[in-house]
């Protein structure tokens, strides 16, 4: 099973700053199979990015995804107050299981 | 807009069966393009995909190896919903359980149900 490792564990930033989150896979993967989610306390995860770089419906363009092989990145160009949350990457392939990273918390400095 | 509404008990005794239901609106459990999943989240295990059911001229299921011997995910076409049954639960099965739509990425989620396994 492919393991996803997210870094850093916590990112302390201020509104207006740029957030760069990393997701590394233990084996090279097809980039079309990488998704990112945002989760706020008490809520279900919300799909942000699929196929490594495609924004889900209704997601603002300050969120962008990139990467290939084993290294993937979620970038929030300018943090808004509502963007402080935990972010997860997820790997899916042609067949299960689907796996998640352990998460990166973006906190307000 | 797709909405998923979860229901089921929040407390289950050890060795008993955890049962949850997810009612679908805005889509069909019999859709030929969707899959219907159960995912759980706990501090110790993080987000963990458990299993899914989907229809492609026939009904199919996939399950995570970690729970394969104990899990059943079933569609209910008459009520447009699907269910999770997890047998022989232990305290390690304590988690927030989510239903979600998605064949690969998960685009719609239920509200989550905290299930505590305790006597």
Q: How far is the alpha carbon of B114 from chain A, nearest alpha carbon, in Å? A: 10
Chain A residue closest in CA terms to B107: A47
Chain B residue closest in CA terms to A52: B105
pLDDT, greater one: A33 or A74 = A74
pLDDT level of residue A95 (50, 70, 90 thresholds):
confident
What number of other Cβ atoms are within 10 A of residue B39's Cβ? 27
pLDDT level of residue B117 (50, 70, 90 thresholds):
very high
CB contact under 8 A, B105 and A45: no
Give pLDDT, residue B43. 95
Residue-wise pLDDT tens digits, A4-14: 999 999 999 99
Give pLDDT, residue A4. 94
Q: For the residues B23-27, what does the mean pLDDT come to? A: 98
Angle value at C-alpha A51, between A49 and A54, nearest 5 degrees: 50
Chain A residue closest in CA terms to B104: A92
Give pLDDT, residue A2. 87
B110 neighbourhood in chain A, CB within 8 Å:
44
Q: How far apart are CA B119 and CA B117, in angstroms?
A: 7
Q: How far apart are CA A16 and CA B33, in angstroms?
A: 39
Q: For the residues B83-94, what does the mean pLDDT come to? A: 98
B36 at interface of A, judged by CB pairs closer than 8 A = no
CB contact under 8 A, A90 and B48: no
Does the pLDDT of residue A92 top 90, yes or no? no
A98 neighbourhood in chain B, CB within 8 Å:
49, 104
Q: How far is the alpha carbon of B64 from chain A, nearest alpha carbon, in Å? A: 6
A66 at interface of B, judged by CB pairs closer than 8 A = no
Does the pLDDT of residue A94 top 80, yes or no? no
Give pLDDT, residue A93. 78
C-alpha distance from residue A17 to each of A21, A49, A80, B41, B50 (Å):
13, 20, 9, 30, 37
Does the pLDDT of residue B39 top 80, yes or no? yes
Chain B residue closest in CA terms to A55: B107
Rg of chain A (C-alpha set): 13
Residue-wise pLDDT tens digits, A12-60: 999 999 999 999 999 888 877 899 999 999 999 999 999 999 999 999 9
A31 at interface of B, judged by CB pairs closer than 8 A = no
For chain B, percent of residues with pLDDT exceeding 90: 98
Q: Which residues of A3-28 are buried (b: 16+ CB within 10 A; e: fewer)?
A: ebebeeeebebeeeeebebbbbbeee
A47 at interface of B, judged by CB pairs closer than 8 A = yes
pLDDT, greater one: A94 or B72 = B72
Tokens of B94: 């304590």
Does the pLDDT of residue B103 top 90, yes or no? no
pLDDT, greater one: A69 or B6 = B6
């Amino acid at each position: 099973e492919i393991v996803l490792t997210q870094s850093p564990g916590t990112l302390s930033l201020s509104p207006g700053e740029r957030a760069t989150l990393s997701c590394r896979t233990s084996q090279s993967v097809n980039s079309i199979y990488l998704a990112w989610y945002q989760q706020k306390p008490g809520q279900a995860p919300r799909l942000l990015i699929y196929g490594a770089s495609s924004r889900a419906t209704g997601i603002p363009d300050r969120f962008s995804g990139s990467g290939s092989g084993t290294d993937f990145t979620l970038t929030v160009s300018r943090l808004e107050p509502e963007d402080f949350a935990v972010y997860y990457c997820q790997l899916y392939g042609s067949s299960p299981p689907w796996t998640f990273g352990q998460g990166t918390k973006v906190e307000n400095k | 807009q797709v909405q998923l509404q979860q229901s089921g008990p929040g407390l289950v005794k050890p060795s008993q069966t955890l049962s949850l239901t997810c009612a679908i609106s805005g889509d069909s459990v019999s859709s030929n393009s969707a899959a219907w999943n159960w995912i759980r989240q706990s501090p110790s295990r993080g987000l963990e995909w458990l299993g899914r059911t989907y229809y492609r001229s026939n009904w199919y299921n996939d399950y995570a190896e970690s729970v394969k011997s104990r899990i059943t995910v079933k569609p209910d076409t008459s009520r447009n919903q699907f269910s999770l049954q997890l047998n022989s639960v232990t305290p390690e099965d304590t988690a927030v359980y989510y239903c979600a739509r998605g064949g690969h990425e998960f685009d719609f989620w239920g509200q989550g149900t905290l299930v505590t396994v305790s006597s």
